[in-house]
Amino acid sequence: MNSAETPPKPEPALVREKAHDNPPATPGCLLPEPLQAAGIVIFGASGDLAWRKLVPALFNLYDSGHLPDQFFILGVSRTNWDDREFRGQMQDAVTRHCDTQSGKCSDFLSHLYYHRLEYDQPEDYKALATLLKHLGQKTGAKDNLLFNLALPPSLPPVVSRKLAQAGLSQPGPNHQGWIRVVVEKPFGHDLESSRYLNQTMAQAFSEDQIFRVDHYLAKETVQNIIMFRFANAIFEPIWNRNFVDKVVIIASEKLGVGHRAGYYEGTGVLRDMFQNHMLQLLSLTAMEPPSMWAADRVRDEKTKVFRSLRPFTSQAVDQHLLLGQYGAGKEIKGYRQESGVAQTSLTPTFAMLKVYVDNWRWQGVPFYLVSGKRMAQKVTRMVIFFRQVPHSMFRQVLGQDITQNRLFLNIHPEEAISLSFQTKGPGPVLCLRTVRMVFDYAVDPSGLSLGAYEKALLDCMQGEQMLFWRQDGVELCWSFLEPVLNRCESCGDRASRLHTYTPGSWGPEEVKTILPDWPEPAL
């Protein structure tokens, strides 16, 4: 073999599964039967969420054959459009995802309709009920309805009441068909508002009709955490305080608040990320194995984790929480320079929170939750740090410290699971090097990978609540965080607690007072 034919050397610090080493996905990974005919009603159809996420996700399901043969999509909002204008608005959202020559774009758009509605006007809901009955008969979608409330937080209680008054919250007298409602986060602004939202919706819908969507839970690699933990016998015996030193969960954003500044100014990172996404990722990492693969059994175990979170005292908040706000950088606005943000704003855009799960499995193991905007990278991952080796036989030649074994559960940018461990470095001198063994979702082309919104919408239409919040979990998370929020938002030294950090960094330098080696081991 000449030099031109010499194969490239493999990456020295990476052991990677090859696609042909993995068996293809089983037929059971696909839907066993077509979905029932249904009508999908999007409240807030003129908003950004419908245009950017919901309608493109519905088109992707249509394009992949995962929508029922008989369906309609009805957009509802206060904007004065008709069917033609609504289809024109959604055309741009759809054509980004399809081949315009295939005809699928125009076929999909023909299933879209529109209804103008004032959210607090009962007469508009009566007209909506008449239109839904007509569309159900016209399209064959019958009485199955999915209401998606893509609305500001103040409106779902209003819409729920009006739907009930118009007879649109429950199936008909013969219980033919189903009716379900999707609520987007945030689920309230605090514990009191969360309970009000639930009480209002419970007057119109039963709990099994309500789907509280957190798109983080619908990501493929988030779903895989449960499979990874409980379908492999080699990990569960070491998934506890005897072998785990600490856990770091990070969800960082490279971008700033952008067009969400108005919303974010009244919310901040703790309400925006910790009450929902971060605590859900923690529950998946820390939960006990459910007795069976069923939605309420899984959610029961996650709820047990929320109940086991160690309550915060005032002193604990001071010691275990660090807040930051991004300042200005080169050609980058600081948070206080963003449109819609007060120049004296004390809203945090970064937080690190150290929490403990007080149960038999995790007693004494710290969980570090980290989230922020304008950071060095967009990263979402959970890192499990295993304990140091108890005795180093190499200390005379290598010193006392050997890098801990780490398990990386990566959600973004790579969708992968990797395990780091120590091996001998090549050469005549004794030295260690850290290598990773990796499973990458992108390596195996078999099966259909759905985006988070596609998966969430598909589960709603199937009535599968596995990936959705249950109200008791929502309230437990608010109860856990409220002492933290009260301490941060009502104390007299708020300004001194808020540390400025440079855009493109990993947060304030003061973070090292909580986690001294941040961020290196978690990367």
Alpha-carbon gap, residue 213 to 267, rounded angstroms: 19
Q: Which long-range contacts (CB under 8 A, 24 or more apart) does 288-295 make?
A: 288/361, 289/229, 289/230, 289/236, 294/466, 295/464, 295/465, 295/466, 295/468
Buried b (16+ CB within 10 A) or exposed e, 198-223: bebbeebbeeebbbbbbbbbbbebbb
DSSP per residue over 79-90, as a string? S---HHHHHHHH
**Three-state SS at 404:** coil
Q: Are 497 and 491 in contact (CB under 8 A)?
A: yes
Backbone angles phi, psi at 191, to 5 degrees: -65, -45
How far apart are alpha carbons 107 and 241 in whole angstroms? 55
277 assigned to active site = yes
Enter the tokens of residue 243.
Answer: 């072998």
Q: Identify the three-state secondary structure at position 60.
A: helix
Report how far apart, in Å, the C-alpha atoms of 217 and of each of 118, 181, 277, 324 are: 32, 18, 8, 26
State the catalytic residue, choosing from 189, 215, 277, 320: 277
Burial class of 355 by CB neighbour count within 10 A (0 to 12, 13 to 18, 19+)? buried
Q: Which residues are catalytic, by number?
A: 277
